[in-house]
Amino acid sequence: MEVTMRFTLPEEREELAMAQNGPAYRAALDMVADNVFRPARKHGYPQDRHGIAELVQKIGPDANDLIWALERLFYEILEDCGAKL
């Protein structure tokens, strides 16, 4: 099978850039899933440059419930947009 995508430039330059950057968007979403949500379910947050471990400590015992709720929302949004990781 062969697929050809056509864009009318310069009017559709933004759409072309989005199509060309699809792999980068996918990689970024995978990184969010793996670095933000997965540690809450698996092994916890190491000390990191983003300060997530410190923030989780500040939130306290309800931090994991909050993270799990945000993870569910993240995947619901992806599903609503027709995206799948």
Say what the pLDDT of residue 81 is: 93
For 19-75, how does the pLDDT look when each residue is reduced to its tens digit (9 = 90+)?
999 999 999 999 999 888 888 888 777 776 678 888 888 888 888 889 999 999 999
Q: Is residue 51 in a domain?
A: yes
Residue 18 CB partners (closer than 8 Å, separation 6+): 25
pLDDT at 49 (0 to 100): 67
pLDDT band at 18 (very low <50, low <70, confident <90, very high): very high
Specify if 60 maps to a domain: yes
Do the domain assignments include residue 24? no
Residue 10 resides in a domain: no
- The parent domain of residue 79 ranges over 34-85
Nearest to 57 by CA among 71, 70, 47: 47
pTM for the structure as a whole: 0.75
